[in-house]
Structure 1
Amino acid sequence: METDKLREECGVFGVYSSDPEINVVPLVYYGLFSLQHRGQESAGIAVARDGTIEARKGMGLVGDVFDPATLAQLSGPIAIGHVRYSTAGSSTIENAQPFVSRFKLGSIAVAHNGNLTNADVVRELLEDAGVGFVSSSDSEVIINLIAKNYKKGLEKALTDTIQFIKGSYALVVLTEKALVGARDPHGIRPLCLGKIEKGWILASESCAIDAVGGEFVRDIEPGEIVIIDEHGVLSFRYGEKTARAVCAFEFIYFARPDSRIDGIDVYQSRIRAGEILGRESAVVADLVIGVPDSGIPAAIGYGRATGTPFGLGIVKSKYVGRTFIAPRQDERERAVSVKLNVIKSEVAGKRVVIIDDSIVRGTTSRRLVSLLRRAGAKEVHFRVCSPPVRFPCYFGIDTPHRKELIGSANNIKAICEAIGADSLAFLSTEGLLEALNHQGGYCLGCFTGEYPLPTPGEVGLAKQNDL
């Protein structure tokens, strides 16, 4: 179990080369390394060559799953890859992606980031139609729908599938001759397009395109499908245009700071969030520090806005990943000391402002306040560069049950007392939107309880159209 952070979703990456002699698998490998922050439970690559699709996947980090011998087994001009953290379905090899389906009309592979809100309903309908499943993953639901409709042709199979599924998704689909990308109508999960010599890239984040020497071209629009093949890039929309609702937590925490999502520079948005936080809730202090990694840009911004000197303050172990296992509450609290440690000489005798991206259970926050006091901090003022997390996410983030969210049942004063800080303040919802240069177009469901589309409980077993 994680110490006290929301767990990110997954990362997808795909490469198409117009030169059949070029092996794109190494590019996918490096692209997945750049997306490792989005999932550390499993990794996989599927590649198309000579009319067949082969895949290799396993549990663990990219570097653990793909050694030189494993990579040597994969070669081809079109490939997709996936890194996973399970938000739906258990953490098992059966749920590792990409999924591959072989049927009489050909083969396809799918990698998916997001959560379907009607997955159970669609799965039941497919099972009634005689389709078998080997996993509990939403992604297998998607690939089976595409396979079932494939006789209509790739484009029609994709549009029929995508109009049938509900929820959040950034998809990369591999066929024997094409690379396909699709983004849900609200654009909840990110997906972007890049260019390489003699080819194209699809990726969850622009940082992965940079990592393989590609050129960022643009974001895939909400409700857009792109088919990349020998004819180039074909783009088309499906369904009616709906309101954009990009996940705000991509900017707050999930995305790497060197990425751009829908025109927003992630690093600069975190700087602005800190500046606005300083404007909204300044306190007299000698030092401002950030919780690594995403809290650091906000601390820099807070320092600029308030004139408070910025310092390092906290060091993060490079060798304790986000999957550090601590199943019991007392173990989770001790685990914070393994992952994060205070530089005593920086904080001793000072009034310290500590900036974090969010408070979920309160475990890490309480432990950090305690560590700062033990290191000699005279005062500890906690500032959070997002609003209180009060509600669960249904669209690709693994949030605890609502009863476990410290912000759900407690006001700010009670949370402050629970974590032991001298003061506590959160960024306002209006401040968050200002930091994102936009007065709308974001999913804020975990803060407000207002979601851009029906949640799984609301979907229920509502009657669906026949498959």
Structure 2
Amino acid sequence: MTGLITPLTESPREECGVFGIYAPGEEVSRISFFALFALQHRGQESSGIATADGYTIRNYARMGLVSQVFSEPVLNQLTGHMAIGHNRYSTSGSSVSCNAQPIIAGEGEFQIALAHNGNITNAAELRRELDELGYIFKSSTDSEVIANLIISAPYIDMIERIRYAMGRLQGAYSITMLTKETLYAFRDPLGVRPLCLGSIGNGGSVIASETCALGHIGAELVREIEPGEIIRIDPNGIESYKEESGRRALCIFEYIYFARPDSIMNDRLLYSARQAMGAELAKEHPVDADIVVGVPDSATAAGAGYALASGIPPAEGLIKNRYMGRTFIEPTQRIRDLGVKLKFNPLQSILSGKRVVLVDDSIVRGTTTPQVIKLLKKAGAKEVHMRVCAPPIQHPCFFGVDMATRRELIAARMSVPQIKDYIGADSLGYLSVDGLIRAVGAPKNKFCLACFTGEYPVPVQLEMDKFVLEGGSEKREDVIRVLDSEEIPAVSL
């Protein structure tokens, strides 16, 4: 089966979304479905749900969007009073069915299901160690490395097993995990990826990558899970275990692009933060223009902020096809050659004769931005002044974002004036790091800014390969799951 068509975008690619619920008496698989639906923006390659009832872990994962993977018969057989869920965008391992999550590892009383958002920078080293100990890997993901590391820990108590794994892991991880009787969640000591705790129903609890998932399922936000924290939820309630956590390094791109604008992080609504980015851009890079157009949808809020701060009227000059990238049908070469026209349609009557400020979240490789500017000018725009919410991206990310290698990053190869000429803009202004921090409204030392500064929070191998775990992995069946195909019919995609 072919993968989803890659959306035409200049932005970094999403990572993954994770979810967990412990709620006796509730339809946990159905609630998980709607939570994953709300987190679909964090991964569109595969989706899965694992449930447990105290005796058995059931797991179902497939390639595709949440709505393509699950059906009523599938959800009806995912029984239990607790569940975890996962939406995947591959940052470690190929986009193939054997890498769909949740991951199942172990057996008997030590069997676990695990869903992971992030990227483990020492996964290859740990994988070799576990291979030598005889652990069998059925995927090529760092998530299965984490699961087997927990299983291999020389402890009986699961909290101690998780602590052991956290002491060995380097990189980013926000994780939900099931045993047959207990729901766990834990976050790396740097806090690179977000994770929050909520309440639902009569004493139930939920875990989610973002707060936006909570409202969709009738849950209330309790708090963010702290960096280095382990949460255990069972019939005795919620227990928290704190690990030593020094430096913080929340990915700044959660604010710029990844998280939904209706999510809250560090007590800040992200829509407001993105509006503030646009306002800071207007202060740092003013220009005489007639209209402000935010590239939909990721820069809509920033465009509004630029317009408000500059006094230049906002306009909807580009209409986005929001279903681009949500099909398994391969385009013909003729359709593929249309490029950015598949994603955006310009409003000629709005753009004609106008000096346009075009606001976008980021420029990564510089492949799509020239096409967008050309599209606007072809529609009659007199001038296009590019304004970018992210500072120049000069270094790759190794903590769960599929961005690009350094040689692919346009800002690592060209100066700002050179980029301006290359993309065909009449002027180009990037938001400064200090301006970005002012907009976010949190201390600079809380964030990972490595893609701008090259200062990574932990040592990294500078040309890590996302397929480093591909060699030697045994190919499993279409999906790792406890249920066999007789019990749950395959979903036709």
Cα drift, residue 132 of structure 1: 0.9
Q: Verify the 8 A CA contact 1:2 1:332 in the aligned structure 2.
A: no
- Give the letter aligned to residue 237 of structure 1: K
Corresponding residue number in structure 2 for 1:169? 173
Partner of 2:460: 455
Distance 1:283 1:328, change over 3 A: farther
Aligned twin of 1:16: 22
Q: How does 1:224-243 map to 2 (within 5 A)?
A: 224-238=229-243, 240-243=244-247
Whole-angstrom CA distance in 2 between matches of 1:407 and 1:99: 37
Pair 1:217 & 2:222 matched: yes
Taking the aligned partners of 2:33 and 2:185, their CA distance within structure 1 comes to 18
Are 1:408 and 2:412 an aligned pair?
A: yes
Letter in 2 for 1:79: A
What is residue 359 of structure 1 aligned with on the other side? 363
Q: How many positions carry a matched residue from both structures?
A: 457
- 8 Å contact kept, 2:196–2:210: yes
Aligned to 2:338, the other structure's residue is in SS state helix
The percentage of aligned residue pairs carrying the same residue is: 48
Amino acid at match of 1:202: I
Residues 388/142 of structure 1: CA separation in 2 closer, same or farther (3 Å cut)? same
- SS of equivalent residue, structure 1 residue 303: helix
Per the alignment, residue 210 of structure 2 pairs with 205
For 1:392, give the aligned amino acid. P
Counterpart mapping for 1:179-194 below 5 A: 179-194=183-198
| Cα separation, partners in 2 of 1:411 and 1:176, compared to 1, 3 Å | same
> Could you tell me how far 1:332 is from its partner in structure 2?
7.0
The alpha-carbon deviation at position 102 of structure 1 amounts to 3.7
Q: Distance in 1 between matches of 2:13 and 2:118?
A: 12
Q: Secondary structure at the match of 2:153?
A: helix
Query: Deviation at 1:251?
Result: 0.7
The question of whether the paired residues in 1 share the 8 Å contact of 2:18 and 2:176 is answered with yes
Residue number in structure 2 paired with 1:442: 447
**Among 347, 354, 359, the residue aligned to 2:351:** 347
Alpha-carbon distance between aligned partners in 2 of 1:324 and 1:273, rounded to the nearest angstrom: 35
| C-alpha contact 1:333 1:367 (8 A) present in aligned 2 | no
Shift of 1:443: 0.5
User: Deviation at 1:459?
Assistant: 10
Deviates more, 1:297-306 or 1:399-408: 399-408
Matched with 1:29 is 33
Higher mean C-alpha displacement, 432-441 vs 249-258: 432-441
CA distance in 2 between counterparts of 1:459 and 1:315 reads 37
Which of 7, 10, 15 is matched with 2:13 structurally? 7
State the alpha-carbon separation in 2 of the partners of residues 404 and 325 from structure 1.
28
Q: Which runs of 5 or more structure 2 residues have no equivalent in the other structure?
A: 1-5, 466-493
Deviations 1:66-106 (A, max 9, x none): 01121122111100000000011001111100011242333
Asked if structure 2 preserves the Cα contact closer than 8 Å seen for 1:333 and 1:363, the reply is: no
CA shift, 1:322, in A, is 7.1
State the match for 2:114 in structure 1.
110
User: 1:150: how far off?
Assistant: 7.1
- Closer, same or farther: CA 397–374 of 1 in aligned 2, 3 Å: same
Aligned-pair CA distance for 1:241: 2.2
Task: Tell me if 1:138 matches 2:142.
Answer: yes
Gaps of 5+ in 1: 461-467
By relative contact order (CA 8 Å, sep 6+), the higher-ranking structure is 2
| 1:89-104 aligned within 5 A | 89-104=93-108
How big is the alpha-carbon RMSD for the aligned residues of Structure 1 and Structure 2? 2.0
TM-score relative to the length of structure 1:
0.94
Measure how far apart 1:361 and its partner are: 1.4
Which residue type is aligned with residue 235 of structure 2? Answer: E
Q: TM-score, normalised by structure 2?
A: 0.89
Retained in 1: the 8 A contact 2:86–2:101?
A: yes
Residue 475 of structure 2 corresponds to which residue in structure 1? none
For 1:207, give the aligned amino acid. Answer: C
Q: 1:322 to 1:412 in 2, by over 3 A?
A: farther
CA distance, structure 1, for counterparts of residue 173 and residue 327 of structure 2: 23
Offset of 1:146 from its aligned partner? 1.3
Q: Distance in 2 between matches of 1:368 and 1:458?
A: 30
Question: Residue 292 of structure 1 is aligned with which of 292, 296, 319?
Answer: 296
Point out the more displaced range, 276-285 or 143-152: 143-152
Letter matched to residue 101 of structure 2: Q
